[in-house]
Amino acid sequence: MSLRLDALPDPAARILDELRAPPRLVAHLTLVHDVAGRLVSALRKRWPRLSFDAEAVAFGAALHDVGKAVVREELSQPGDRHEALGEQLLLSRGVPAHLARFARTHAQSEREALALEDLLVTLADKVWKGTRDEPLDPDSHQLEKNFRRRDV
């Protein structure tokens, strides 16, 4: 089995470079971005008429933890300061709000209100943490409920 990962989108890689993001963070974001791409491909194959913003998912996965480039202790310890701070960091660099939001929403517990794109970024992040998350578990039907809100 080979481990070929999709490269981060150029704008995301540039931001991480400018912030001198630590290699551990870049590695995590690269893995989560790759998983998100695989989820998007699987969704498109299974539900070809499902409408969602795949580019936003890719960008969101690539930068969801960008706040940890500043709040570096949260790379190795639990904490949520990186979430709102990450969104502000992206907004201050001219990233549109609809893309910057993933830095905040990826850890949000009120998932009922989240769009499919946010749930995909969150799920991709959970896959690499190796943790189960009840609301995102297929048995909980959270993803399915979200699909029903859209025209599939």
118 near 105, Cβ under 8 Å?
Answer: yes
Q: Least distance (Å) from Fe ion to the CB of residue 55?
A: 19
Residue with tokens 């039907």: 141
The span of 39-47, 65-73, 116-124, 133-141 binding Fe ion (CB under 5 A) equals 65-73
Alpha carbon 55 to chain centroid distance?
A: 11
Residues 138 and 149: their CA atoms lie apart, in Å, by 17
**Interaction of residue 125 with Fe ion, rule CB under 5 A:** yes
- Out of 34, 65, 83, 117, point to the residue binding Fe ion (CB under 5 A): 65
The span of 8-16, 73-81, 97-105, 122-130 binding Fe ion (CB under 5 A) equals 122-130
The span of 49-57, 60-68, 90-98, 140-148 binding Fe ion (CB under 5 A) equals 60-68
Q: Provide the H-helix boundaries in 47-132.
A: 54-63, 81-92, 97-100, 102-105, 116-129
Total residues contacting Fe ion by CB under 5 A comes to 2
Q: Which is nearer to Fe ion, 51 or 76 (CB)?
A: 76
Residues 62 and 54: their CA atoms lie apart, in Å, by 12
Give the footprint of Fe ion on this chain (CB under 5 A).
65, 125
